[in-house]
């Protein structure tokens, strides 16, 4: 039996990955801050899919908690075959906002924790000669919007760098770059979505399924759905001045 560890595994995209991995027969290690919610989700997944579900309460903005999760990934007696670095949240803060703690927490959770856990998993998996690491980035990585875009651009660049370091080891690294996904993400961040048309939204279970299929093929970058693949191509190849203009317009529409 193989084991998958999912951070932020009790809601949104993380919960979708947990369901998809359990459906594939993986035992799970779920990491999140809310111990009660962890227990509830673990019981539900265990009953539904007949897999073992371990819970690991942790706040990935806290260095000691990150080290506990990293130690679990490094445990040779209980190997983890798949890591999904999903924990994160919407960051409705501007680069000029005088709120250093908000920026620090975002970097701790969505950059430093990803670095620490990806490294711990990568070393352990390389030693065994196989494994899969999935890091949740965003299509925001390709635009220039507030503090969130640079953070997700870092996740994307980190994932490609880690994939290079692990090339030929039997361990693959995939950065998933979803567009608009129907989760609690935007409400929690106070982001207005009323102007976003229905047809652009993607269900989190589809994101998980398509990402896992890309990871199976060893792809370093996954963009679920054809419509968001097209958006990525436009963002990659359009003049940067046009991308900045589109980013400003998008930011104004969400205020």
Averaged confidence pLDDT in the chain: 90
Q: Percentage of residues in the chain with pLDDT exceeding 90?
A: 73
Name the active-site residue from 49, 89, 142, 148: 148
Predicted pLDDT of residue 91: 82
pLDDT of 55-104, one tens digit each?
A: 999 999 999 999 999 999 999 999 999 999 999 998 878 899 999 999 99
Q: Could you confirm whether 142 is annotated as catalytic?
A: no
Segment 150-170 shows an average pLDDT of 98
- Assess whether pLDDT exceeds 50 at residue 178: yes
d(CA 162, CA 229): 23
- When divided into structural domains, the chain yields a total of 1
Q: What are phi and psi for residue 75, nearest 5 degrees? A: -70, 105
Q: How many CA atoms within 13 Å lie on the side-chain side of 85?
A: 37
Q: What is the CATH number of the domain that holds 170?
A: 3.40.50.720
Find the domain containing 172 and state its range. 3-253
Is residue 225 predicted with pLDDT exceeding 60? Answer: yes
């Amino acid at each position: 039996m193989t084991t998958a560890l999912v951070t932020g595994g009790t809601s949104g995209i993380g919960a979708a990955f947990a369901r998809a991995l359990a459906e594939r027969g993986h035992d799970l290690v779920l990491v999140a801050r809310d111990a009660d919610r962890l227990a509830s989700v673990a019981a539900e997944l265990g009953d539904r899919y007949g897999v073992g579900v371990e819970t690991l309460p942790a706040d990935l903005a806290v260095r000691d908690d990150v080290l506990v999760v990293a130690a679990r990934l490094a445990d040779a007696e209980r190997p983890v075959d798949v890591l999904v670095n999903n924990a994160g949240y919407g960051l409705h803060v501007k680069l000029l906002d005088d709120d250093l703690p908000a920026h620090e927490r975002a970097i701790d959770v969505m950059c430093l924790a990803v670095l620490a856990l990806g490294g711990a998993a990568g070393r352990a998996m390389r030693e065994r000669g196989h494994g899969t690491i999935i890091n949740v980035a965003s299509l925001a990585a390709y635009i220039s919007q507030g503090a969130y875009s640079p953070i997700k651009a870092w996740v994307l660049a980190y994932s490609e760098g880690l994939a290079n370091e692990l090339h030929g080891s039997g361990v693959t690294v995939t950065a998933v770059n979803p567009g608009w996904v129907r989760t609690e993400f935007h409400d929690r961040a106070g982001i207005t979505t009323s102007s976003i048309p229905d047809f652009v939204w993607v269900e989190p279970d589809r994101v998980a399924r398509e990402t896992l299929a890309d990871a199976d093929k060893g792809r370093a970058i996954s963009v679920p759905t054809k419509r968001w693949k097209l958006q990525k191509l436009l963002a990659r190849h359009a003049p940067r001045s046009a991308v900045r203009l589109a980013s400003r317009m998008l930011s104004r529409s969400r205020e």
